[in-house]
Amino acid sequence: MIYRSLFLLGATLLAGLPLAAQLPSNATLKGSYYFRYLGVNATSTDVPLAGQGMLTFDGNGGFTVTAQGVTPGTSTLQTLTSGTYRLISSGIFKMTNPFDTTGNTSLFGNLGVGAIVASSTDTYYLDMFIAIPVSTAASNATLTGSYNVASMDFANGTFTNGAAANTRNTFFTMTADGKGGLGTVSISGTSQSLNSAATTQTSAGATYTVNANGSGTVNFPAPSGVTAANVLLAGNKTLYVSSDGNLFIGGGASGYDFIIGVKSFSGSSPQNSLSGLYVTNLLNNYAAPNDSSDGIYASDGSANEIPNASGGPVEISHQRNSYDGDISSGSGSYDFTQALDFTLNSNGTVTYSGFGSYALSANGTYVLGGGDGTNYQLNFYAKALPMNGSGVFLDPQGVVNAASNVPFTAQVAPGEVVTLYGSGMATQTATAQSLPFPTTLGNVQVTMSFTPSGSSTATTESMPLYYVSPTQISGVVPYDVPTDGSFLTFQVSNNGTKSNSTKSYTGQTSPGVFTVPPGGIGDGAILDSKFNLVSSSNPGKVGDTVQIFLTGLGTVTPTVAAGAAAPSNPLSKADNMPDVYIDGIQANVTYAGLAPQLGGLYQINVTIPSGVTTNNDDSLEISTVDADNIQANIPIGQ
């Protein structure tokens, strides 16, 4: 029943997106882009970096850089003058990090609608990068009306114990008159120098300029009576404005800051505008006193905004995170998946006390986030590029974890059940009737190509299939695929006619908890000791041992062929033992591995710990060697 329910979800992930004439490639990215960059070189000593300028992409995998910025002890930023990039069909993007003068690291991210968003998530750079196309006919009138603005500033560029010593964070609204005036601006935010308390300061007579190419300046006069060390935001900043005036980025020529503005939402239904897939990035300094999780981290990723019964969207999101402590210890980046409500107020904004504030842009293309309290952050979403194709079409953004439905930037692990979305992928609907799952079902095959570690020769394998239909296919990833972050290439064959191919990152694990109903949102597919479904009418209790059904725990011992029945004696245990937390409290794991006698399904047996919140849907967290999932809930009773 758990399996069959998974594949009734249909193509919800892609509903409502406009059509694209062709899939992205290197040739899609051609011309000049303005950019702003803020980050930290998190080697033995944290070194701040900030810069801005212009990138020119040649449409063939190369780019040149014209940049300015600051590094400690210098007046001009040291950058590369050229580099390479790669854009694959889903919009996933990789380019040489111009701020690493060795040329040995890369920015990873995505090309979204109107912006490139990226971060150096697989390296020792913790950073945020946004680029927008250079305009051709901008003016002061391009900035007109109300804007939500957020900024982050590593004031003076000083760091202590893996965290900025004085971070400033703002989130406020300003109004541009279309003529270069901003009037009096009330700037709200927090600063470590002000004990992270909510603060509002007044900048009187703020101004801006926008040139024909979209470059310009914005000036915030310092608030009266406030010492320089306690000012949230002031001074002259470089400004880059999108051609439609819905987005601007910028920062100081000699400061470690980043400013983003989006035109404020206007209309009656922000929830309808916040829908579908977005690509994201994040820069964060969590600076709570005496908290072991203090420090800088950054991410790139994606988010799927799905309407729910109450009218507001639920977000299934993925972040590829790097954290200063992980980098210094050599453990690198990790995947983070979560599901959370994202219900906006009527003006398109929402604030979560102690965490942050968010604002939807006027046309729903962008979402801007700023921190709150000791959670200093800058968060940016851009609508993902729309996808469309004819014939046998595999959506490049439609390869997802079959349990969580986490979007396309997440890694794929050995043994994971994945679902592929598209159109024309089968001429019939068929479900495998026995184990092992066949590699041909309804005259459909799915191949996966990869280069094994240590080899220069590509390998192609067929995926065992559980379900096929014209719009979706579900199957089990073989256990011998790479786990090193390299790409795994998927392609569908329907009666011998091949689809386009698409690529997904690989990893050791990619946990996703099946939910009831399916889709990755709500209560997990969890059985109690009597094999009854744990639900609001049959909640789990402290001390009970329950079985959590999921996918994506990676390789197992003893080994099993993908899609074959898992053994009962001995049990096939996960090689990477997960940690499980219920309501933030660690639970005792008594078993983690394949569910015996089933194909491709994992289970974790855990004992519900004392101290959890009762009479509540508690959060369920699955943490592994390279991934963390907080996506499903577990009802807990008295």
What are the pLDDT digits (tens) for 80-136? 899 999 999 999 999 999 988 888 889 999 999 999 999 998 888 999 999 999 999
Q: What is the pLDDT of residue 41?
A: 85
Question: pLDDT category, 309, cuts 50, 70, 90?
Answer: low
pLDDT at 42 over 60: yes
Helix (H) or strand (E) holding 329: helix 324-329
Among the three residues 462, 477, 505, which one is the final residue of a domain in this structure? 505
Among the three residues 383, 411, 444, which one is the final residue of a domain in this structure? 383
Query: How far are the Cα atoms of 128, 131, 469 from residue 35, in angstroms, in the given order?
Result: 10, 4, 43
Q: Are residues 246 and 345 in the same domain?
A: yes
Q: Are residues 357 and 406 in the same domain?
A: no
Question: pLDDT category, 293, cuts 50, 70, 90?
Answer: low
Mean pLDDT for the stretch of residues 347-374: 94
Query: What CATH number should be reported for the domain holding residue 610?
Result: 2.60.40
Q: Are residues 83 and 226 in the same domain?
A: no
Interval 571-629: pLDDT, tens: 999 999 999 999 999 999 999 999 999 999 999 999 999 999 999 999 999 999 999 99
Kindly report the average pLDDT of the chain as a whole number. 91
CA atoms within 13 A on the CB side of 617: 13
Q: Which residue has the higher pLDDT, 290 or 483?
A: 483
Q: What is the pLDDT of residue 455?
A: 80
Q: Are residues 547 and 588 in the same domain?
A: yes
Nearest Cα neighbor of 408 from 303, 490, 508, 515 is 303
Q: Are residues 155 and 10 in the same domain?
A: no
Q: Which amino acid is at 31?
A: G
Q: Which residue has the higher pLDDT, 471 or 295?
A: 471
Q: What is the pLDDT of residue 8?
A: 31
Instruction: Find the domain containing 462 and state its range.
Output: 2-21+390-505
Question: pLDDT category, 4, cuts 50, 70, 90?
Answer: very low
pLDDT at 545 over 90: yes
Give the chain's end-to-end CA distance (angstroms, integer).
28
Q: What is the pLDDT of residue 627?
A: 96
Mean pLDDT for the stretch of residues 520-547: 97
Token readout for 475 is 């199957």
Backbone angles phi, psi at 512, to 5 degrees: -140, 130
Could you tell me if 527 and 546 are in contact, meaning their C-beta atoms sit under 8 angstroms apart? yes
Strands in 59-143 per DSSP E:
62-70, 82-87, 92-96, 106-112, 115-119, 125-133
Q: Are residues 454 and 420 in the same domain?
A: yes
Among the three residues 106, 133, 160, which one is the final residue of a domain in this structure? 133
Q: Are residues 500 and 576 in the same domain?
A: no
Interatomic CA distance for residues 252 and 272, integer angstroms: 36
Interatomic CA distance for residues 624 and 638, integer angstroms: 29
Q: How many helices (H) and strands (E) does the chain have?
A: 3, 46
Interatomic CA distance for residues 6 and 525, integer angstroms: 11
Q: What is the pLDDT of residue 291?
A: 60
- How many domains are contained in the chain? 4
Place of tokens 């959370």: 340
Neighbours of 535 (CB within 10 A): 14
Interval 338-355: pLDDT, tens: 998 888 999 999 999 889
Question: pLDDT category, 162, cuts 50, 70, 90?
Answer: low
Q: Are residues 228 and 268 in the same domain?
A: yes
pLDDT at 16 over 60: no
Q: Are residues 466 and 536 in the same domain?
A: no
Query: What CATH number should be reported for the domain holding residue 117?
Result: 2.40.128
Could you tell me if 357 and 346 are in contact, meaning their C-beta atoms sit under 8 angstroms apart? no
pLDDT at 11 over 70: no
Question: pLDDT category, 156, cuts 50, 70, 90?
Answer: confident
Question: pLDDT category, 332, cuts 50, 70, 90?
Answer: low
Query: What CATH number should be reported for the domain holding residue 404?
Result: 2.60.40.10
Q: Are residues 337 and 422 in the same domain?
A: no
Q: Count of residues for the chain?
A: 638
Q: What is the pLDDT of residue 9?
A: 28
Interval 431-481: pLDDT, tens: 999 999 999 999 999 999 998 877 888 999 999 999 999 999 999 999 999
Question: pLDDT category, 244, cuts 50, 70, 90?
Answer: very high
Token readout for 359 is 């604002």
Interatomic CA distance for residues 415 and 435, integer angstroms: 15
Report percent pLDDT > 90 for the chain: 78
Q: Are residues 277 and 147 in the same domain?
A: yes
Where do the H-state alpha helices sit in 67-138? none
Mean pLDDT for the stretch of residues 167-176: 97
Q: Which residues pair with 147 in a beta bridge?
A: 174, 263
Query: How far are the Cα atoms of 36, 51, 164, 292, 370 from residue 260, in angstroms, in the given order?
Result: 10, 14, 20, 30, 10
3-state helix/strand/coil string of 268-285: CCHHHHCCEEEEEEEEEE
Q: Which residue has the higher pLDDT, 537 or 272?
A: 537
Mean pLDDT for the stretch of residues 413-420: 98
Strands 627-636, 334-341: pairing is parallel
Q: What is the pLDDT of residue 341?
A: 87
Q: Are residues 244 and 379 in the same domain?
A: yes
Give yes or no for a cis peptide into 558 (omega within 30° of 0).
yes
Question: pLDDT category, 76, cuts 50, 70, 90?
Answer: low
